[in-house]
Amino acid sequence: MVAPIGRKLNEEWGVKARHALYREDGRWYNHLERFPGALFDANGYIIFETKEAYEKCPQLRHGIELNVTGGISSIPGYVRVR
């Protein structure tokens, strides 16, 4: 079985998140459930050390799914890898 892309990038890039999710365009995700948690896109990632930081991030719209206004690359602290 092939590991999900978020988990694979988490390992390859040495992020060490407990929960890692991937979306190529960085705009829509399922919700992070374990912290530190990271959202990955095709070029990098943003890590949330705590649930509180995740819930208070103004670029995140928490609904049935997670909508990221402007994509994760617009969030301060985004790490560009590629």
Show me where the domains of the chain are located: 5-76
Distance between CA atoms of residues 8 and 36, nearest Å: 16
Report the chain's mean pLDDT, rounded to a whole number: 95
Distance between CA atoms of residues 25 and 15, nearest Å: 19
Q: What is the pTM of this model?
A: 0.94
pLDDT tens, residue by residue, 5-44: 999 999 999 999 999 999 999 999 999 999 999 999 999 9
pLDDT score of 1: 47
Q: Is 68 exposed, middle or buried (0-12, 13-18, 19+ CB in 10 A)?
A: buried
pLDDT score of 79: 98
